[in-house]
Amino acid sequence: MGKANVFDLLGPVMVGPSSSHTAGAVRLGAMARKIFNGEFTQVHIVLHGSFAETGKGHGTNLALVAGLLNMKPDDERISRSLELADERGLKLDFAQADLGDVHPNTVKFILKSTDGRQMEITGSSIGGGRIVIKEIDQFSVEIPGDYHTLVLLHRDLPGVVAQVTNLLAAAQVNIAQMRVSREKKGAQALTVVEADQKIDQDALALIRKLPSVVQAMAIEPLE
Amino acid sequence: MLSYEDLVVQAEKKNLKVGEIIILDQMEQLEQTEAQLRRRMSENLQVMRDSVASGLTGERKSLSGLIGGDAAKVEARRLRGESLVGETVSKAIARALSVSEVNASMGKIVAAPTAGSSGVLPAVLLTVEELYQAAEKDVITALFTSAGLGMVIADRANVSGAEGGCQAEIGSATAMAAAMAVELAGGTPRAGAHAAAIALKSMLGLVCDPVAGLVEVPCVKRNATGATLALAAAEMALAGVRSAIPIDEVIDTMEAIGRQMPCSLRETAQGGLAVTPTARRIHADFL
Ligand code: SF4
């Protein structure tokens, strides 16, 4: 984290009561929505640790759903998010579970669309409203949602990452950070690229065409 | 490391307010003009005003049902002319309760520096503004002064109950409010630093022990007593009372105390008020 500025100390403007359990939860929901990147009609929400224990009093469930509905942490409709979800025909159910050795404020979303597309997204609220997405469909990631993000599932072969960065450079996208994680050497690897500029559809299409790329998705940053 | 003493010395040399020094610094850091920074701060000020007004209606309830209606009670007593502590302090108490009740009931607030401690600053600000009929421009500058002190605290220590206990949240808010009150009341930057030091010294060692882990008990009422304490510290500093220990050193010792605090007293709800028999009962009933 960089040096704090005045608006970190007098701000953010948010709906209470807790920056980690409410504001951060809204951001987690919003991030799950961005990652799914399409219509969804059903969400199963699993709360872990402090989210499970004190979530009710902090409106964590309301906040998570508000985020799924694309609200921001300062939206005064957060406390009515369950009704609003209902009006929109979004089916929700909540569960509590031990998600293992994760941050105490962690949630797992399982989003489903009518045409059967499903995605599992796990993230944590790490304090002061900041969040990090930790897992997408069983792959460990580290996505704080501050940047335009490219998530790539690819075969772990020499040169793949270089091909991708070349395509990004050609599309005038400046890379801020990059992390590669892999399951087994030579098997599949997951690369997360954080960029200063939007990764547009054209660049994404070219990346998807690379023979070693299994899957690629671009995620917009949170505001 | 940032130093409030440095800011005071700069302000004295240039004959500016601390908030004006902070604005110059932030123009560089955030790459924004003074007008942009002031506009953004005035938006925050508007949210503060709204949150003060909204809680005074007494119609809000927190999710647990423990919080709500207290700001209205204090306000009603003052309006009946029965206040024990006088108009100024009574107003500040009601306003701090008000914002904290709004926060606890999922209303909109400005974290100052956190959501749990969001009542102190607006309560002191609006009360001093009214008393001295301060111009909007000066009110905004005073907010930059308080945020500047907050930046120093965040840099030398932290403003998180989980890290430093409640001294770091409501303690910081109280110090920030005290420095701001002195400036709005026409005191010098130096007097503001003394007020901040006096306020923070009085909050040292305060643990974070929220009942059932909720930002409700003791948080809401601590905002009210924090606001009162900020006014008392400002009153002393404006009268020429000096803090023997300078503000930077008080902040450093707050950080050290936070590190010595056991985990049970840092927002985990495993110590302090959170483990009293009544708190355990509340917890069991609610969950
Ligand atoms: S007791 Fe803890 S949660 Fe409550 S205001 Fe203080 S620091 Fe925040």
**B176: which chain A residues are within 8 Å (Cβ-Cβ)?**
9
Q: What are phi and psi of A187, to 5 degrees?
A: -95, -135
Q: Closest Cα of chain A to B134: distance in Å?
A: 20
DSSP state of A42: E
pLDDT of residue A139: 86
Tell me the per-residue pLDDT of B145-160, one tens digit each, with 9 for 90 and over: 999 999 999 999 999 9
Cβ distance A15 to B215 less than 8 Å, yes or no, reads no
B24 close to A (CB below 8 A): no
pLDDT, tens digit, 9 for 90 and up, residues A177-216: 998 887 666 688 889 999 999 999 999 999 999 999 998 9
Residue in B117, B160, B169, B229 to alter for ligand 1 test, most ligand atoms within 8 A of Cβ: B169
Read off the pLDDT of residues B86-142 as tens digits, 9 standing for 90 and up. Answer: 999 999 999 999 999 999 999 999 999 999 999 999 999 999 999 999 999 999 999
CA angle B9, B13, B14 (to 5 degrees): 120
B124/chain A closest Cα distance in angstroms: 14
The structure tokens 């209470």 sit at A16
Per-domain residue ranges for chain B? 4-286
Hey, which of B215, B257, B263 would you mutate to test ligand 1's pocket, going by the most ligand atoms within 8 Å of its Cβ? B215
For residue A2, is pLDDT > 60? no
**Site from B102, B108, B125, B251 to mutate, A interface, most A CB atoms within 10 angstroms:** B108
Full-model pTM: 0.91
Nearest residue on chain A to B140, judged by CA atoms? A10
Q: What is the DSSP string of A153-216?
A: EEE--TTHHHHHHHHHHHTTPPEEEEEEEESSTTSEEEEEEEESS---HHHHHHHHHSTTEEEE
Chain A residues close to B37, C-beta within 8 Å: 6
Q: Which residues pair with A181 in a beta bridge?
A: A190
Enter the DSSP assignment of A21: I
Ligand 1, atom 6, lies closest to the CA of B166
CB-closest option in A10, A22, A76 to B147:
A10
Residue ranges and CATH numbers for the domains of chain A are 10-137 (3.30.1330.90), 148-219 (3.30.70.260)
Question: Which residues have CB under 8 Å from B35's CB, separation 6+?
Answer: none
Q: Which position has the higher pLDDT, A184 or B269?
A: B269
CB contact under 8 A, B147 and A79: no
Q: Is any ligand 1 atom within 6 A of the Cβ of residue B210?
A: yes
Q: Is A16–B109 a contact, with Cβ atoms under 8 angstroms apart? A: yes
**Orientation angle between helical segments B34-56 and B87-104, nearest 10 degrees:** 90
Query: How far is the centre of ligand 1, averaged over its atoms, from the C-alpha of A34 (Å)?
Result: 32
What pLDDT is stored for residue A1 in this prediction? 41
A contacts of B115 (beta carbons < 8 Å) = 14, 16-19, 22-23
Task: Tell me whether residues B106 and A12 touch, CB distance under 8 A.
Answer: no
Token pair belonging to A53: 């224990």
**Pairing verdict, β A91-96 and A42-48:** parallel
pLDDT one-digit tens code per residue, A99-124? 999 998 999 999 999 999 999 999 99
DSSP per-residue codes, A96-139 = E---SSS-SEEEEEEEE-TTS-EEEEEEEEEETTEEEEEEETTE
Which residues on neighbouring strands pair with residue A112, listed in sequence order?
Answer: A42, A118
The atom number, within ligand 1, closest to the CA of B117 reads 5
Buried b (16+ CB within 10 A) or exposed e, B73-99: ebbeebeeeebeeeebbbbbbbbbbbb
The C-alpha atoms of residue B133 and residue B153 are separated, in whole angstroms, by 29
Spacing, Cα B117 to ligand 1 middle (Å): 7
ipTM value > 0.85: yes
Residue B182: burial class (beta carbons within 10 Å; 0-12, 13-18, 19+): buried
Nearest CA in chain A to B141: A6
Q: For chain A, what percent of residues have pLDDT higher than 90?
A: 79
Average pLDDT over all residues of chain B: 96
Class of domain B4-286: mainly alpha
Using CA atoms, how far apart are residues B154 and B111, in angstroms rounded to an integer?
14
B 194-223 → A contacts, CB under 8 A:
212-216
pLDDT of A23 > 70? The answer is yes
Nearest Cα of chain B lies from the Cα of A76 at a distance, in angstroms, of 6
